[in-house]
């Protein structure tokens, strides 16, 4: 297992932990965090299956997302769909965090679970989950509708691929550091039957 030390990109600090399926040299679960025109783009991509073909498909997706990082989450999904037709395809959740609007825009295709945890205990609901639409990028896209959420300073967003159990959010405390969040989720919720990746980011406000 590898955990990255805390990183800072634009308006967030973040960390990621990942593990390949035991016996595989490379993981098909990849991430991207990169400055975007309106703030920052965060993406988690899971190549279908595991091993080198899964990694190759996920890497193509990450390269395309990086190349087009200034575009909307919907345009990004469309670029990836066109660019992944010759691969086994990926599932992905995309999010732009936009400090000028104090909002996130997000789109999930497939099953990369993503939740926002409110730092302020008086805000209800305390958690929001990205609505995931069935499909495979590169093979069959669902209708693309982005969700828009308000975000406040110190709110935490956690992405987890299906190598983590669906109840991964139960171990998340938004008051913890992002490194503590990803370490705890990986230690407690890794299934061991697939690659797994968990990424946490904390919103810092305007840079
Ligand atoms: Mn998977």
Mean pLDDT by 10 residues, the chain (207 residues): 90 96 88 94 95 94 97 98 96 98 97 97 95 96 96 98 96 95 96 94 93
C-alpha 201 – ligand 1 centre gap (Å): 21
Specify the pLDDT at position 130. Answer: 94
C-alpha 36 – ligand 1 centre gap (Å): 27
C-alpha 101 – ligand 1 centre gap (Å): 33
C-alpha 18 – ligand 1 centre gap (Å): 12
C-alpha 185 – ligand 1 centre gap (Å): 16
Contacts (Cβ under 8 Å, ≥6 apart) of 200: 14, 15, 16, 156, 157, 158, 159, 172, 178, 181, 182, 185
Q: Are 72 and 146 in contact (CB under 8 A)?
A: yes
Residues forming a β-bridge with 117: 127, 156
Specify the pLDDT at position 165. Answer: 97
Specify the pLDDT at position 206. Answer: 87
Owning domain of residue 149: 2-203
Q: Please give the structure tokens belonging to residue 164.
A: 């983590």
CATH code, domain with 35: 3.60.40.10
C-alpha 190 – ligand 1 centre gap (Å): 11
Q: Is 71 exposed, middle or buried (0-12, 13-18, 19+ CB in 10 A)?
A: middle
Specify the pLDDT at position 26. Answer: 87
Count of Cβ atoms closer than 10 Å to residue 183 Cβ: 18
Specify the pLDDT at position 1. Answer: 75
Rounded CA-CA distance 38/56 in Å is: 29
Specify the pLDDT at position 2. Answer: 86
Specify the pLDDT at position 171. Answer: 84
Q: In whole angstroms, how far apart are CA 115 and each of 67, 84, 112?
A: 26, 26, 10
Q: Per the structure, how many domains does the chain have? A: 1
């Amino acid at each position: 297992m590898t955990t990255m030390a805390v990183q800072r990109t634009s308006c967030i600090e973040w960390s990621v932990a990942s593990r390949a399926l035991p016996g595989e040299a490379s993981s098909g679960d990849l991430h991207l965090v990169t400055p975007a025109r309106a703030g920052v783009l965060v993406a988690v991509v899971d190549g279908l299956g595991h091993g080198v073909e899964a990694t190759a498909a996920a890497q193509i997706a990450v390269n395309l997302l990086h190349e087009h990082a200034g575009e909307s989450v919907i345009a990004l999904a469309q670029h990836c769909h066109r660019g992944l037709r010759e691969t086994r395809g990926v599932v992905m959740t995309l999010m732009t965090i936009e400090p000028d609007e104090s909002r996130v825009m997000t789109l999930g295709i497939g099953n990369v679970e993503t939740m926002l945890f409110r730092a302020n205990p008086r805000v209800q609901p305390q958690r929001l989950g990205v609505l995931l639409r069935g499909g495979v990028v590169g093979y069959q896209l669902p209708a693309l509708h982005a969700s828009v959420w308000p975000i406040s300073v110190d709110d935490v967003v956690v992405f987890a691929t299906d190598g983590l159990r669906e109840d991964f959010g139960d171990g998340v405390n938004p008051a913890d550091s992002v490194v503590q969040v990803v370490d705890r989720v990986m230690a407690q919720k890794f299934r061991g039957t697939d690659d797994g990746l968990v990424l946490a980011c904390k919103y810092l406000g305007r840079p």
